[in-house]
Each structure stands twice: as C-alpha cells, then as structure tokens.
C-alpha cells in the first residue's frame, strides 16, 4: 500500500484537478526557475518566428517543481496541442506508434517519467525524434520487411526525476535540457499569493510566508498545504488565514516549522536513538521503521539531505548536529530506546 503524505511531492490522484486549476498557462505567469523560463522563452520565440517545431525538451529534477506545468505552457506558447502519457503506460512500440502517427505539425508529446520507458520502446523512438519517421517491421523471418512511416514535425517534452537513468543515446537526442531546483520561500510565497487569489481565499502576508517555509521548497506541497489550511480557516477562523491559523492547522497535520512530518521525524529518531547518530545502512533503517527502502530513499531522504539534517557516507546514513538540535536532543549523547510510534 502506498503511503499518502501531505508533504510528499508526488501528485496524488484525488488532487489532480485541484493542482491543475492552479497551474499558470504562459511563461509570464510562471514563478521561479528564472533561468529556465528565460531560456525557454527565447527558444519558443525563435521557433515561432521560424514557424518550426520547438527542439525536443528534457526537464529533470525532483517531483512537484513544475515539469508538467512547463510542458503544458510550452504547448500553449507554441499554440499547439499537447498529448500526455507516461513511461510506464507505454509497454510496446505499437502503443507509441498510434500516438506518433496522430500528431500534427508542432504538436507537443509529453512523456512523464520518461526514464521508465521500456528499452524496446526507447529504441523505437530514436528515429522518430531524429528523423521524424518510424521504422515498422511487418511479417517475420524471410518475409520480414521494414516500412518507413513519415511523421509530422513534433516536439517531445520528457520529464524525469532520475536523469541519470536515461540512456546516453536518448539524452543526446534532446536539444534543450533544463534542471529544475527547489524554490526559496520568497518564491513559494508569491506562488501562494497567486493560488489564494484564484481560490478567493484571504491569506495574510505572514501566513503565506509561514506556509512557504514549511513547503519543502516545492510548489505542489505549498498548494496542498494551502488547501488544508483553507479548510481549517473556514471551520475554525472565519475563513481568514493568519499565521496563528497556519500554525494550528499544520500542527494538527503533524507538520513542524521546517516542514517535517511524522515519518521524517521517525527516520531521524531511528538514526539518533537506535544507532547513536549513525552511520547506519538503509536496510537497517527500513527494517527498524518497517518501511520499504524505496519509500525512505525517494520520499524521505531528499529533503533531509537538502536541509543538512542527514548526510550519506560510505558506511551509511549519519544525522548531523542540525537534526539533533531540531529534535531537542544533545549531540553525541547516548539515549535510551524510546518507542518511535
């Protein structure tokens, strides 16, 4: 069973329409990632002036930072259609062939989690990206023959959280590469102001800054927290979101002043109180917490590494003094083994 966490950057099925309603539709409305936006604006304008399809674009970085949003913005800016799919959804070359042959000139094909494309599909897409044609084999054995099917000139936008898992031949066929990084609190506060205005919610400046500070540098998390705080404010505080309302609401959700939730704190306490601050291997941590290793590596550790609460060493994970202080534990003092639950 997949753990549902309020501060997870992974998109949850039930909130897709909510997040979609808050997405900007043009580059001028996109907050943050200034260098990425500036470079995309130039590439899009140049392609429009030449009346050509935009070069293929690869967007990579942690989840929830705007890769899907930028793909839709590219399509809007190019005044073209966008067809969205994901790597795991395309199992055979035939699945992709149907999509590619229906694309019109300038259309955008967006493939999320492109690193999870099966190898046989990945090799099939090479000629589509480079030569705008696909080679389709019919019959077998001595009767096999290859049919070349021409394609309209389209733009492939690939998104991935693990660029290192992409093969070199696939990476090299993208003309534009951009890395999206975590957002500073000031930019998240600006995103929250825009979202609050769309939702017609009254948010005081200090309250917006407080939500931004707890949003783990991720717009998707910021908008999700805004939704939860809005609900609390409507029931408990006459609909006005103040700093105190934010504190009370997120305390009920178990989210502390730096954005850690219960699983994050359990992870840190396991390292500190069970293993003396580390180093400890991920297998031992997963067994101690009764969690999957992938859950800890993909959902817990990235933010703790970013804020310097944990470091990875050759011998395992180690908690830093920042983590000790945050939990109110004196560094290098051996503790007992209290319950983590």
Q: 67 an active-site residue?
A: yes
Cα–Cα separations (whole angstroms), residue 186 to 215, 227, 229: 11, 19, 19
User: Which of 67, 173, 269, 318 does the annotation list as catalytic?
Assistant: 67
What is the C-alpha separation between 125 and 167, in angstroms, rounded? 13
User: Which of 23, 31, 107, 112 does the annotation list as catalytic?
Assistant: 112
**Contact at 8 Å (CB) between 157 and 108?**
yes
Contacts of 160-165 with C-beta under 8 Å, sequence gap 24+, read 160/58, 160/59, 160/60, 160/113, 160/114, 160/115, 161/60, 161/61, 161/62, 161/63, 161/113, 161/115, 162/60, 162/115, 163/58, 163/60, 163/115, 165/115
User: Which of 173, 214, 220, 318 does the annotation list as catalytic?
Assistant: 220
Q: 257 an active-site residue?
A: no
Q: 264 an active-site residue?
A: no
Q: 220 an active-site residue?
A: yes
User: Which of 69, 155, 161, 295 does the annotation list as catalytic?
Assistant: 161
Residue 338's nearest CA partner among 252, 251, 272, 262 is 272
Half-sphere CA count of 81, side-chain side, radius 13 A? 8
Q: 68 an active-site residue?
A: yes
User: Which of 5, 23, 31, 68 does the annotation list as catalytic?
Assistant: 68
Token pair belonging to 181 = 């990084």
Q: Which residues are catalytic?
A: 67-68, 112, 161, 220
């Amino acid at each position: 069973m997949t753990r549902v966490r309020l501060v997870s950057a992974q998109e949850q099925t039930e909130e897709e329409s909510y997040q979609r309603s808050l997405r900007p539709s043009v580059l001028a409305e996109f907050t943050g990632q200034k260098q990425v936006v500036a470079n995309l604006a130039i590439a899009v304008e140049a392609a429009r002036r030449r009346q050509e399809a935009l070069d293929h674009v690869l967007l990579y970085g942690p989840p929830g930072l705007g890769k899907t949003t930028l793909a839709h913005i590219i399509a809007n800016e190019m005044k073209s259609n966008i067809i969205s799919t994901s790597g795991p959804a395309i199992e055979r070359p035939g699945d992709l062939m149907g999509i590619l042959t229906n694309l019109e000139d300038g259309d955008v094909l967006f493939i999320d989690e492109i690193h999870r494309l099966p190898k046989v599909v990945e090799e099939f897409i090479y000629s589509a990206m480079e030569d705008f044609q696909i080679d389709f084999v019919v019959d077998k054995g001595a009767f096999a023959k290859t049919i070349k099917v021409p394609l309209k000139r389209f733009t492939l936008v690939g998104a991935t959280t693990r660029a290192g898992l992409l093969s070199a031949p696939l990476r090299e066929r993208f003309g534009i590469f951009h890395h999206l990084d975590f957002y500073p609190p000031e930019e998240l506060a600006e995103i929250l102001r825009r979202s609050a205005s769309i939702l017609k919610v009254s948010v005081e400046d200090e309250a917006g800054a407080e939500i931004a500070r707890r949003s783990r540098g991720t717009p998707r998390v910021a908008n999700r927290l805004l939704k939860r705080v809005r609900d609390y404010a409507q029931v408990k505080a006459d609909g006005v979101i103040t700093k105190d309302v934010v504190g009370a609401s997120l305390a009920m959700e178990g989210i502390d002043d730096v954005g850690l939730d219960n699983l994050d704190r359990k992870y840190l306490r396991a390292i500190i109180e069970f293993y003396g601050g580390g180093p400890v291997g991920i297998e031992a941590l997963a067994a101690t917490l009764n969690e999957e290793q992938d859950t800890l590596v993909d959902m817990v550790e990235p933010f703790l590494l970013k804020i310097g609460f944990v470091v990875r060493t050759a011998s395992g994970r180690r908690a830093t003094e920042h983590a000790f202080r945050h939990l109110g534990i004196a560094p290098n003092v051996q503790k007992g083994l209290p319950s983590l639950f």
